[in-house]
Homo-oligomer: A and B are copies of this chain.
């Protein structure tokens, strides 16, 4: 299956705003299902066809996902131990509401048979409408023209719409359109998964109700373990000058509406299908009422107006978020593709988050990771800070579960956020590269700090942020200890840093520094709250039983944080023992043995100096102000040599730091891999879903990398660089209510204040006040 994808690399027309394929190829189909996914942050529909594929195995995987809708399974272990998560969470495939089967007399429409005389599929990122247009000749010679459109409506959380237009070209005859809600869905990627025993393979749902009433098809299903009710309701509107009859019936796990049309040569049959999804723990009546209301609204609005809404929404989005690159169309296309998919994937309701693979596939089981705080939040923060806030609100909503997890992990105080989760409970099944990644706590704190620096949204800090900061700081304070063997410094042992090729180590450089930031920021926030918002402070302190001494200790712990450094090599050591290990034999290991995790036992990998991804180098970016350029260069030089970039989160960070230290060609090379990772399938697994963190990383690659943007201590600074292959690039930054636009070309950098009050900006270390427009050479 993977082989097929690799045999035939994706190949799209280069276009600044559009992804287009000009021919249908079963070999490229699996990958394209991901690429042509549509989503609105709640609903995600893979780019599978309305009619499906006849023999899907290996060619693709149906997928309709609802953010936050998951089923539980039992995690089984070779040997179980105390504190291992017992339940898995898996984002599940819900009812296929877009399904439409087409019959021409006795023949079924299927692109794999007959002849495809014309074919085009495209998605325009300004429109947000997936379009397919084709001419097909059936095995018996009947020709039709088929035009379909599909929208996951950004402005209407629950709505997807399909437009399905059939025109017989060379025949009159019976045309049957069978429009279904198909609840009999399965999970394709789990087949070889150790969790196959959890019961998911038998279907996560049971059907509560399936009926058709007043032209509206209703399927109500409920997950077996998590007991989430999912409603899928649909109505079809047919427009044709031909005569037709309808028929409807309930199937096993589904409902179907049939249209029997007396098709006539040249006369179009135009069918619009409105599909509404809703899901929650509410009673089925509430959910159904809500879904039916949304359906009624949508039908009332009509297809063309919905398309306009979609365009308007995206117009606003691009207005704030677009990155323009002149002179490099593949890159321009890729960066917009990434920003578009980020928007399609991200939960914007404060109750859901963003899956590692968005809503585009079953990879990583739909889990939320640190990807959110370290990649996605920064990418939205400077254009759509409201989305970043919603993502942080989600984390806040899981704080009680993080507290409970900390207790389970024997921490007397504080909260420990999960490495992998949907509902807020830890569900990573391999703790050395899961629970041991305690840095998730500091990553969340870092995102709050960045969010506050950019927005000064004190309401958020008082209501949510402070409590997270205090509970994460408490955890670090409980976890670390003053170690006489390390000069009495505050040490953090037995954790795993971002680099998953090195596990369970003492004093991971990244973790210690980020924990230090977390402790400091929690301390500063507590002091600030006490002074400026005494009643909030007192309520919070009393609610979580926080002692004054604890707060004082955060500062002391932070001050005394141990930072591993090798005097001999003049570099930071990734952890206490990293440099004690044998360097991986890069020279003699054949290329096909990468990614290493698929070819070597963890012990073999852990035994060597070899990194899956940026670890020290990530700290050099996030906390770059702490290090001299020379130090960064030495660290970068060392760690680049031992990094495989087997993780999709690595290239973008290396690109940013390379640009920072003047290695611009390296910066460019890493960036290309980042930007087109999914379009060109660099990781070889985009068919499992897009890589959302990396997509966000491509925003960071431009803004933090090439333009060198940093925000630290109330200063917004840049050191822009333009690559010789580009003519110009530009983007907007929203910062504390002001919007500025940067345009960088070979003449220099133009800073323009688009909106809001004047802003102090630093350009290569020189500060100026941006009032209107300012050009720096």
Contacts and interface: CB of A to CB of B under 8 A. Distances in A.
Interface of A: 75-85, 88, 194-195, 197, 408-410, 428-436, 481, 483, 485-486, 491, 493-495, 503-504, 506, 576-577, 579-582, 597-604, 606-607
22 contacts: A76-B77, A77-B78, A78-B84, A78-B88, A78-B430, A79-B434, A80-B194, A81-B602, A83-B600, A84-B601, A408-B601, A409-B603, A431-B601, A431-B603, A432-B432, A481-B582, A483-B582, A485-B579, A494-B581, A495-B603, A503-B504, A576-B577
B430 A79 contact: yes
A598 B82 contact: yes
Nearest to A583: B481
A436 B601 CA distance: 11
B494 A436 contact: no
B607 A493 contact: yes
Nearest to A504: B504
A194 B77 contact: yes
A633 to B, nearest CB: 22
A358 to B, nearest CB: 21
Contacts of A84: 78, 601
A366 B321 CA distance: 63
A404 to B, nearest CB: 13
Nearest to A575: B577
A512 to B, nearest CB: 14
A78 B601 contact: no
A198 to B, nearest CB: 9
B76 A197 contact: yes
Contacts of A434: 79
Contacts of A75: 78
Contact of A77 (B430, B432, B494, B600): B430
Contacts of A491: 580
A517 to B, nearest CB: 22
Nearest to A606: B494
B506 A580 contact: yes
Given A577-B577, A603-B409, A597 B494 contact: no
Nearest to A197: B197
Contacts of A580: 483, 485-486, 491, 493, 506, 576
Given A494-B606, A506-B580, A78 B428 contact: yes
B78 A409 contact: no
A600 B76 contact: no
Given A580-B506, A600-B410, A194 B78 contact: yes
B603 A77 contact: no
A577 B75 CA distance: 32
A428 to B, nearest CB: 7
A436 B486 CA distance: 27
Nearest to A75: B78
B194 A409 contact: no
Contacts of A88: 78
Task: Please name the 3 residue pairs, one residue from A and one from B, whose CB atoms are nearest each other, closest first.
Answer: A78-B429, A83-B601, A76-B76
A602 B495 CA distance: 11
Contact of A581 (B76, B194, B493, B581): B493
A429 B77 contact: yes
Contact of A429 (B79, B429, B494, B603): B79
A601 B495 CA distance: 13
| Residue from A78, A430, A485 whose CB has the most chain B CB atoms within 10 Å | A78
A390 to B, nearest CB: 29
A484 to B, nearest CB: 9
A84 B432 CA distance: 14
Contacts of A598: 82
A268 to B, nearest CB: 51
Given A579-B485, A580-B486, A602 B79 contact: no
B78 A436 contact: no
A483 B434 CA distance: 30
A431 B77 CA distance: 11
Contacts of A197: 76, 197
A435 B77 contact: no
Nearest to A599: B82
A79 B194 contact: yes
A410 B604 contact: yes
Nearest to A579: B485
A508 to B, nearest CB: 13
Given A580-B483, A603-B435, A79 B493 contact: no
Contacts of A79: 194, 428-430, 433-434
Contacts of A194: 76-80
Contacts of A503: 504
A434 B195 CA distance: 22
Contacts of A195: 76
Given A493-B582, A494-B607, 8 more contacts: A79-B194, A79-B430, A81-B602, A82-B602, A431-B602, A504-B606, A506-B577, A577-B577
Contacts of A493: 577, 580-582, 607
Nearest to A566: B485
Given A483-B580, A493-B607, A582-B493, A81 B436 contact: no
A700 B240 CA distance: 94
A415 to B, nearest CB: 16
Contacts of A486: 580
A218 B430 CA distance: 47
A197 B197 CA distance: 7
B485 A601 contact: no
Contact of A603 (B504, B581, B599): B504
A494 B576 contact: no
A330 B82 CA distance: 36
A83 B606 CA distance: 14
Nearest to A408: B601
A603 B76 CA distance: 19
Given A197-B197, A580-B486, A603-B436, A85 B78 contact: yes
A603 B494 contact: yes
A83 B598 CA distance: 9
A331 to B, nearest CB: 35
B483 A410 contact: no
Contacts of A606: 494, 504
Nearest to A77: B194
Nearest to A582: B481
Contacts of A483: 580, 582
